[in-house]
Amino acid sequence: MHDLAAALSTALALVTAFDPLMLDIVRLSVLVSGAAVLIAAVIGLPLGAVLALTAFPGRGVLVVLLNAFMGLPPVVVGLAVYLLLSRAGPLGEMGLLFTPTAMVMAQTVLVLPIVAALSRQVVADLWEEYGEQLRSLGASRPNVVMTLLWDGRFSLLTAVLAGFGRASAEVGAVMIVGGNISGVTRTMTTAIALETSKGDLPLALGLGLILIGLVTAVNAAVFLVGQAARRRMG
């Protein structure tokens, strides 16, 4: 009880002080996870739709794999991206290891299966409902994809938010490919891990509360925008 109170007051003090180091950490967390989700959405939404609408041999296998990869262990993804970007690895010359770009790459790998698998399900359900109609209208394939993605936009938004939650909460991948370098690649989650290892539990928990608050704020903003849009549509 005492620890929780200490954590709360630490969190409050951190937020109200606008500590520049703290702000840097928050900004980096949002930028890295935001970029990863953006890239994953740009690739994953159409990929999921195409997977839902196109029959080809091996599709079942692909769907199962995609669903399974929603649970990719972040540490393993981090390790794979590390080996790729290491100076001794195939992309070593790009000098990307221990940079925010490396962290975006790792998180994109984590988020992409979530966005693609969930949007595949959403589009498949819509196709079952409206497929007959769209076929009778003679809509072209790209047209169908766009129509169904637009129709399912509120469900798809939830898929994207699930991806954001995954990205902003994981620590295993960014720790390995980012290195938790102070002022360069330290995010909310790696900072929490560091403070925990220093035994400063109130500070760690305080940072955790701020992270939860941040993710809640992002979700609230999306929710409000969605509601306004729905109302306008009647």
**Which residues contact another protein (rule: CB under 8 A)?**
31-32, 34-35, 38-39, 42, 86-89, 92-93, 95-101, 104, 179-182, 184, 194, 196-201
Instruction: Measure the CA angle with vertex 48, ends 164 and 187; round to 5°.
Output: 20
Q: How far is the CB of 145 from another protein (least distance, A)?
A: 19
DSSP string, 137-179: TT--HHHHHHHHHHHTHHHHHHHHHHHHHHHHH--HHHHHHHT
CB 190 within 8 A of CB 28: no
Q: How far is the CB of 39 from another protein (least distance, A)?
A: 5
| Structural Rg of the chain based on CA atoms | 20
Q: How far is the CB of 188 from another protein (least distance, A)?
A: 16
Comparison of 75 and 124: residue with beta carbon closer to another protein: 75
Q: What is the DSSP letter of 58?
A: T
CB 15 within 8 A of CB 210: yes
Comparison of 33 and 119: residue with beta carbon closer to another protein: 33
Q: How far is the CB of 72 from another protein (least distance, A)?
A: 21
Comparison of 95 and 213: residue with beta carbon closer to another protein: 95
Task: Give dist(CA 24, CA 187) in Å, integer.
Answer: 9
**Residue 209, token pair as written in the block:** 């509360």
Comparison of 87 and 135: residue with beta carbon closer to another protein: 87
- With a CB cutoff of 8 Å and minimum separation 6, the contacts of 51 are 59, 62, 63, 66, 116, 120
Amino acid at 152: G
Q: How far is the CB of 163 from another protein (least distance, A)?
A: 15
Q: How far is the CB of 136 from another protein (least distance, A)?
A: 36
Task: Give dist(CA 196, CA 206) in Å, integer.
Answer: 11
Comparison of 27 and 135: residue with beta carbon closer to another protein: 27
Comparison of 97 and 126: residue with beta carbon closer to another protein: 97
Q: How far is the CB of 93 from another protein (least distance, A)?
A: 7
Comparison of 58 and 199: residue with beta carbon closer to another protein: 199
Task: Give dist(CA 3, CA 179) in Å, integer.
Answer: 29
